[in-house]
Amino acid sequence: MSRTASPLRFTKMHGAGNDFVVLDLRGEVPPPDAALCRALADRHTGVGCDQILTVETPRVAGVLARYRIWNADGSASQQCGNGARCVAAWLVRDGVGGDDFVLESPAGLHRVTREGAGYRIAMGVPEFLPARIPMAGVDAVQPLYTLPVDGVGTLAFGAASMGNPHAVIEVDDVDVADVARIGRALQASSWFPESVNVGFAQVVADDRIRLRVFERGVGETLACGSGACAAVAVLARRGRTGRSVAVSLPGGTLHIDWPADDVALSMAGPAAFVFEGEL
């Protein structure tokens, strides 16, 4: 697929400020190439977005639709919780989704339930084994890794996978956190061979945190659903928060519930339509 092909229809959406271009590729339509992703994501000459979401024909029986995620730089991503809610809302508006259905992502299957004006997504059980995140050079699970990072020095962080890798750094005040410098350093670190999404979390109360996320392939975003899930998972395992937490991000608030370590974590939040267009 290229920009010189027939006109490309799209929907601009956002979930708590994390914004997307949604493409309907159901059928045998090929996915966008890296150049098209970069063109769509460009905020000056394109539509502008953090990620491109493609809605596709499911490959699994009983699933409403498959979706894939492409970062602003054209790289593929495995998971996007805010994107999942937007895809859910898009399908409901299209007349094929109801109040309870299942979506397929690169990370697996996700049950979706309508909750008020938004949607709750089952995001799966967090993974803490270093090899599954993946982290290199670390064998045992640790609640807090204290490791040298080039350009930063020794850094303490938690790590988890929500289908994509996350590092979570607890800070006293997210407003003054050195998000871009530390985020880039960790993403380039040999500790994370597939790079990493870096969250900066401030614990406000047992049931509330503030969070900023520096995403791989994108940079800092107004919200990151999988990052909110990872932050709660890491902090709850350390006893820093409870199991039901409101996560305040620059673009809005997400509600994370994780009843027990061996139970799927779920996330609820808004999904909004911005405009339709054609390129």
Residues with active-site annotation: 80, 224
C-alpha angle 247-162-129 in degrees, rounded to nearest 5: 120
78 annotated ligand-binding residue: no
Q: What is the dihedral of CA 96, 100, 104, 106, to 10 degrees?
A: 130
Query: Which residue shows structure tokens 């271009």?
Result: 21
Q: What is the DSSP letter of 45?
A: T
C-alpha angle 205-258-128 in degrees, rounded to nearest 5: 100
Q: Are strands 272-278 and 51-56 parallel, antiparallel or unpaired?
A: unpaired
18 annotated ligand-binding residue: yes
82 annotated ligand-binding residue: yes
115 annotated ligand-binding residue: no
98 annotated ligand-binding residue: no
235 in helix, strand or coil?
helix
255 membership: H or E segment, kind and range: strand 252-257
215 annotated ligand-binding residue: yes
226 annotated ligand-binding residue: yes
225 annotated ligand-binding residue: yes
CA distances 56 to 26, 59, 235, 238, Å, are: 4, 9, 35, 38
Please report which residue ranges of the chain form alpha helices under DSSP H.
34-41, 81-93, 179-188, 225-237
78/125 Cα distance (integer angstroms): 15
190 annotated ligand-binding residue: no
CB 73 within 8 A of CB 39: no
70/144 Cα distance (integer angstroms): 30
81 annotated ligand-binding residue: yes
Q: Are strands 18-24 and 51-56 parallel, antiparallel or unpaired?
A: parallel
142 annotated ligand-binding residue: no
277/47 Cα distance (integer angstroms): 9
Binding-site annotation, residues for substrate: 18, 51, 71, 81-82, 164, 197, 215-216, 225-226
Binding-site annotation, residues: 18, 51, 71, 81-82, 164, 197, 215-216, 225-226
